[in-house]
Amino acid sequence: MPYDLKEVAAISGMPGLYRLVKPTRAGVIIEALDEKGTRSVASARNKVSLLQEISIYTQDYDQTVPLSEVFDRIHQKHGAELALTHKSDDRDLTAFMGEIIPDYDRDRVYMSDIKKLVQWYNTISKRLEYQAPAEEETAALEATTAEQPTPAQKATKKTEAEPTADEAMSTAGIIPAAEETNAAGNPEAGETKPAKKTSKKKAE
């Protein structure tokens, strides 16, 4: 994938994004994705939302767009330097979202989600290296996304309340506390299991 999000997470009650370093008995050691790169321990009680498990709702109730793909679309259109910030005018943020995902669900994707998306992209584009996908991989990805939604996409549930500032995006996949202890956007939703990798198929 262009941006490797496997070890990047948003954590409830903690601003910013973090790289998951290694698990401990009390939780998981994390490293802040900022200039300081400060390390600390996230408790097993904290809700950890892996960015690779987050996707954006579309108007098709059974279809979502993975965050990794959204970041790729942003990079293709705007590069690593995005002019917008999470403090930009709401109208500009709405127009930006419509440009990146024309059919995003206006009812289930809140303004707070769009702001977090922009904020996360600005962080990721500065801290992670963008790797352009090979032509064969791009063709395989297009063929895969044209198929039925993955179990992780179907598991995405409709949220009733707008997320608060320290929560993950409304489309986040939350890791159960038990898994936080043994393993490893902003963000709200019921607990879901990590998404299974979808095998890539060559376009016929």
pLDDT, tens only, 110-125: 999 999 999 999 999 9
CA distances to 2, 51, 75 from 79, rounded to whole Å, are 12, 20, 4
Residue 109: per-residue pLDDT = 96
The residue ranking higher by pLDDT, 161 or 80, is 80
27: pLDDT strictly greater than 50: yes
Distance CA 184, CA 173 (A): 14
pLDDT, tens only, 42-56: 988 889 999 999 999
The residue ranking higher by pLDDT, 129 or 74, is 74
Distance CA 171, CA 190 (A): 9
Residue 135: per-residue pLDDT = 52
Compute the average pLDDT of residues 143-161. 46
pLDDT, tens only, 168-178: 555 544 333 33
pTM: 0.66
Residue 3: per-residue pLDDT = 85
Compute the average pLDDT of residues 7-13. 93
Residue 142: per-residue pLDDT = 56
Distance CA 69, CA 36 (A): 28
Residue 150: per-residue pLDDT = 45
Domain boundaries, the chain: 1-193
pLDDT, tens only, 86-108: 999 999 999 999 999 999 999 99
Three-state SS across the chain? CCCCCCCEEEECCEEEEEEEEEECCCEEEEEECCCCCCEEEEECCCCEEEHHHCEEEECCCCCEEEHHHHHHHHHHHHCCCCCCCCCCCHHHHHHHHHHHCCCECCCCCCHHHHHHHHHHHHHHHHHCCCCCCCHHHHHHHHHHHCCCCCHHHHCCCCCCCCCCCCCCECCCCECCHHHHHHCCCCECCCECCCCCCCCCCCCC
Distance CA 33, CA 35 (A): 7
